[in-house]
Amino acid sequence: MLTYTTGEGNYKDWILGEDEFCLRHQGKGESIFCLANGYMGIRSAHEEPYPFQTRGLFVSGCFNSSNNETVELPNGADTCEMLITLDGELFSMTTGKVTGYSRKLNLYTGELIRKLRWVSPKGRGYELRFCRTVSRSNVHAYGLKAEICPLDKAADIEIVSGINARMTNSGVQHFNDGTKKVLDRQYLYLDQTTTQSNLTLYHCCGSKITGGTPGERSFGMQRRKILETVRFQAEKGGKGCYEKLAVLYTSRDLAEQDEEQGKSLVLEHLENLVEKGYDGLYEESAKAYAAYWKEHDVRVKTEYPGIQLALRFAQYHLLAMIPPDSRSSIAAKGLTGEGYKGHVFWDTEVFILPYYLFNSPAKAKQLLEYRMNRMERARRNAGKKGYCGLMFPWESAESGREETPLFASMDILTGKAAQVWAGIKEHHITADIAYAAWMYELATGDSTFLENGGELLIIGSALFWRSRSIYAKDRSRYEIHDIIGPDEYTEHVDNNAYSNYMAHYVTRQAIHLLRDGDGKTAVRAEEYFQETGILEKLEDFADKLYLPQPLDNPEGVLPQDDTFMSKKILDISGYRNDNIKQTILKDYSREQVNNMQVLKQSDVIMLMELLPDLFSRKIKMANWEYYEPKTIHDSSLSRAIYSVVASDCGEPKKAFASFLHAIAIDMGQNPYSSDEGIHAASMGGIWLAVVRGFAGLRIQKDTLYLAPCLPKEIEEIKFHAVYRGKKMEICVSHRNIYIESRDSSEIPVKIMGQVYKLTHNLDIKY
């Protein structure tokens, strides 16, 4: 079982743990306890080998396509495996007797610690403690420590560990065999180069015995493996301690160096790290974590169990997934697993970017730069499909081309693969990215951003939408046909509410940019897009783009698309709480689901989350009530958004109920939820539900806006935010909003409809 309350004292609500080892369900812990620093992620597979283990090491943005399969983040060599032999008996939690097992991820320090007591099959007792850190202070470094305390008599310990490049992505090998050797007669070195993208991973590791009496050390090689065997002794009641330090670089990091320089840099780093030892590595990393939490920890006063921890869990993973620079962006599973092949979806801009926008705007900008660096490709994508402007890929990797596989898993009976329409028809990503760029602009006022491509991105998106629409002469309006909205259970629809409204919004912002610019913007845009009269064209498009309106019956409901309301309604209650997702597809074909009012997630509610000012509370609530019972929530993006919109509507009970579902997505007890990695967007969603939802923080036009709607279970929420460069700490309780800032600039803050000026503090009762 996962444990949520083992953190004590200073670590109260900082520790996510588990109190038993379950052979079958290792994937869950491997993902949710994953250690990552944005540069690399290492799945928390146990040191000793077990069946059902999925070891994984992923480097952000290091993609490869093996034998023309869909490009993916390859699983790099493993260094974490240790074969531990204690007095001649191989340590395994499946043999002998294990008591006192616990594994704890300390979110405050980023350290994973496992403890247990093992009585071997022959009856000897040992206490074992394993710790592991992937450094937050230096992204190339990580380390492990194994401490063994013999309980009955002095013990002979043998550890075999090394670098194992036999790892695959579910059987797909992405690397050619490389060089392996022992450096300076003590460090293990192995490099591996991807088969197609020609990226090299340089692995180097060393070890030392820092407890007990060191014995002999020897080295060995096997195919795609280099190993050391270390023997040492520990006294009864004493501690035998093996530390393994490792560094990982890629050829991208060493592009400036020639090969020899690069390798010495790697070795030097390792030497330095081994000298520091595990504790030194840990301390530096923990310090960096502490600094992060000091600036970003969202504190929730509540008696309700697990909420504070869930927020920190989400923030931990939001930090773990953010790359060091704009060469890469955030994968749908972060760096925690093979799921979705490490591709970048709208999840990043819509669910994760807001967190960074209010916490580290530079990181939000970095995420947008990843897209802007691929704008040229987006222009080509559009051109190839016969559209104008920019067309961003539904799934993005290195090049910025469309990476969505054309075919999904095969039909089990026919062996025919089902076509995946998302890459072909799910176009809202292009609006989502432009929306995020505009939000960035609003929140930061960073004018260079617009000039350096931001305005082209927004205008390009608008141009795309214009070309993506058709002009329906009979109705004298632009319509968008044959599209897929966020709700992927409804494909090939016309005038999807989400897509039309988002296209419209983005076009309005583009017009704004074109009008308000000193004319240079229009020149730049016309030049870049090789198109004249852009402003006029967009004005015409915005004026005439069809925006579906709320119905009279059912009152206030915004139809998800032209045909949705005429579809059959199905009782889906049985599918809503399954441990396994998408079970409806076992009973109904995709075609059948497509023809019912069955939602994976809601387009309309999503729209109301992003553009809340377009709709009255009443309309929003009508849609919430209409769509929620029809939503299976088979997407991890669903619950948090329902929560935010319920908060917006002043429905804290509903908001809180949805929120509880949202925090359970990865952190709940469902043992299957996270096998292939955590749900990156859901981490952003948790933060959104609390800060955007309960605390009601958002941007309304040019103003920071606060309209809290605290559920009764939450007494107070205290969080950091940056707006227009101004750092502040905001504390929201049921009757009070307190804002504090050390910056002396003045900004307007709109609270519950009324505008205040904030310099150093604001204390508003409501």
Binding positions for a second copy, 65-94, rule CB under 8 A: 66-67, 69, 90, 92, 94
Q: Which is nearer to a second copy, 128 or 688 (CB)?
A: 128
List the beta strands (DSSP E) in 135-237.
141-150, 155-164, 175-176, 180-183, 187-194, 200-211, 213-222, 225-234
Residues 324-353 binding a second copy (CB under 8 A) are none
Q: Which residue has the tokens 């992003």?
A: 610
The total number of residues shown for the chain amounts to: 766
Nearer to a second copy, 130 or 541 (CB): 130
What is the C-alpha separation between 385 and 425, in angstroms, rounded?
11
In angstroms, what is the minimal distance from the CB of 411 to a second copy? 7
Distance, CA of 266 to CA of 471 (rounded, Å): 59
Q: Of the candidates 10, 223, 530, 573, which one interacts with a second copy according to CB under 8 A? A: 223
Q: Which C-beta is closer to a second copy: that of 216 or that of 518?
A: 216
Among 10, 256, 294, 414, binds a second copy (CB under 8 A): 414
50 binds a second copy (CB under 8 A): yes
Taking the least distance from each CB to a second copy, the nearer of 481 and 581 is 581
CA–CA separation, 97 vs 93, rounded Å?
A: 7
Distance of CA 90 to the CA centre of its chain: 37
Two tokens, residue 84: 């531990």
Q: Based on the shown chain and the rule CB under 8 A, indicate whether residue 576 belongs to the binding site for a second copy.
A: no
Residue 687 is assigned to a ligand binding site: no
User: Applying CB under 8 A, what is the total number of residues that bind a second copy?
Assistant: 46
Please, what is the minimum distance in Å from the beta carbon of residue 67 to a second copy? 5
Of 119, 151, 154, 221, which one interacts with a second copy (CB under 8 A)? 221
Annotated binding residue 601: yes
| Residue 653 makes contact with a second copy by CB under 8 A | no
Name the residue with tokens 């923080």. Answer: 697
DSSP 615-683: S-HHHHHHHHHHHGGGB---STTHHHHHHHHHHHTT-HHHHHHHHHHHHHHHHSS-TTTTTT---HHHH
Interactions with a second copy, residue window 91-120 (CB under 8 A): 92, 94-95
Stretch that binds a second copy, among 141-149, 221-229, 551-559, 570-578 (CB under 8 A): 221-229
Does 619 participate in binding a second copy (rule CB under 8 A)?
no
Check binding of 760 to a second copy (CB under 8 A): no
127 is catalytic: no
Rule CB under 8 A: choose which of 9, 413, 448, 701 binds a second copy.
Answer: 413
**Quick one: 90 exposed, middle or buried, by C-beta within 10 A (0-12, 13-18, 19+)?**
middle
CB 237 within 8 A of CB 147: no
35: DSSP letter: E
- What value, to the nearest 5°, has the Cα angle with vertex 736 and ends 733 and 742? 95
Which region, judged by CB under 8 A, interacts with a second copy, from 173-181, 266-274, 356-364, 554-562? 173-181
**Among residue numbers 185 through 214, which ones bind a second copy (CB under 8 A)?**
185, 189, 195
Euclidean distance between CA atoms 205 and 248, whole angstroms: 9
Residue tagged active-site, from 111, 488, 609, 628: 488
Region binding a second copy by CB under 8 A among candidate stretches 166-174, 298-306, 440-448, 464-472: 166-174
The span of 134-142, 162-170, 379-387, 719-727 binding a second copy (CB under 8 A) equals: 162-170
Closest approach, Cβ 79 to a second copy, in A, equals 15
Nearer to a second copy, 25 or 129 (CB): 25
CB 340 → a second copy: shortest distance, Å?
A: 12
Q: Do the strands 726-733 and 187-194 form a parallel or antiparallel pair, or are they unpaired?
A: unpaired
Q: Is 609 exposed, middle or buried (0-12, 13-18, 19+ CB in 10 A)?
A: buried
Give the residue from 350, 363, 392 showing the smallest Cα distance to 375.
392
CB of 166 to a second copy, least distance (A): 3
Tell which one of 10, 216, 412, 571 touches a second copy (CB under 8 A).
412
| 38 close to 321: Cβ distance less than 8 angstroms | yes
Identify which of residues 226 and 480 has a Cβ nearer to a second copy in the complex: 226
* Closest approach of a second copy to the CB of residue 45, in Å: 11
Q: Is 530 in the site for a second copy (CB under 8 A)?
A: no
Q: Does 252 bind a second copy (CB under 8 A)?
A: no
Among the listed ranges 168-176, 320-328, 420-428, 745-753, the one in contact with a second copy (CB under 8 A) is 168-176
Instruction: Give the pairing type, strands 175-176 and 180-183.
Output: unpaired
**By the rule CB under 8 A, 222 interacts with a second copy:** yes
* Strands 175-176 and 240-250, sheet pairing: unpaired
Asked if 177 interacts with a second copy (CB under 8 A), we say: yes
Residue written as tokens 């859901």?
682
Query: What does the block give as tokens for 578?
Result: 């399954």
- Angle, CA 50 vertex, CA 48 and CA 54 arms, to 5°: 100
Kindly state whether residue 752 participates in binding a second copy, applying the rule CB under 8 A: no
Nearer to a second copy (CB atom), residue 154 or residue 182: 182
**Tokens representing 411?**
């039909």
For the chain, the first-to-last Cα distance in angstroms comes to 42
Sign of CA pseudo-dihedral 48, 52, 58, 62: positive
- C-beta of 271: minimal distance to a second copy in Å? 17
261 is in an annotated binding site: no
Is residue 573 close enough to count as binding a second copy by CB under 8 A? no
Q: Is 170 in the site for a second copy (CB under 8 A)?
A: yes
- With binding defined as CB under 8 A, does residue 408 bind a second copy? no
What whole-number distance in Å separates Cα of residue 556 and Cα of residue 13? 42
What is d(CA 739, CA 423) in angstroms, rounded to the nearest whole number? 44
SS3 state at 126: strand
Binds a second copy (CB under 8 A): choice among 411, 543, 702, 715: 411
Q: How many whole angstroms separate alpha carbon 594 and alpha carbon 588?
A: 10
CA distance linking residue 201 with residue 188, whole number of Å: 14
Which of 197, 96, 648 shows the shortest CA–CA distance to 399?
197
Member of 84, 112, 139, 167 binding a second copy (CB under 8 A): 167
Contact string (CB under 8 A) for a second copy, positions 7-36, x = contact? ----------------xx------------
Pairing status of strand 141-150 against strand 125-134:
antiparallel
Q: Which of 12, 153, 166, 576 binds a second copy (CB under 8 A)?
A: 166
Q: How far is the CB of 254 from a second copy (least distance, A)?
A: 17
Q: Which stretch binds a second copy (CB under 8 A): 122-130, 272-280, 313-321, 413-421?
A: 413-421
Nearer to a second copy, 221 or 424 (CB): 221
Is 600 assigned to a binding site?
Answer: yes
> CA-CA distance, 165 to 734, in Å (whole number)?
55
Pairing state of beta strands 125-134 and 155-164?
unpaired
213 neighbors 233 (Cβ within 8 angstroms):
yes
Cβ proximity to a second copy, 172 vs 547, nearer residue: 172
Residue ranges of the annotated binding site for substrate are 346-347, 600-601
Give the residues lining the site for a second copy (CB under 8 A): 23-24, 48-52, 66-67, 69, 90, 92, 94-95, 165-168, 170-173, 176-177, 179-182, 185, 189, 195, 219-226, 409-415
- Annotated binding residues, written as ranges, equal 346-347, 600-601
* Residues designated as active site: 488
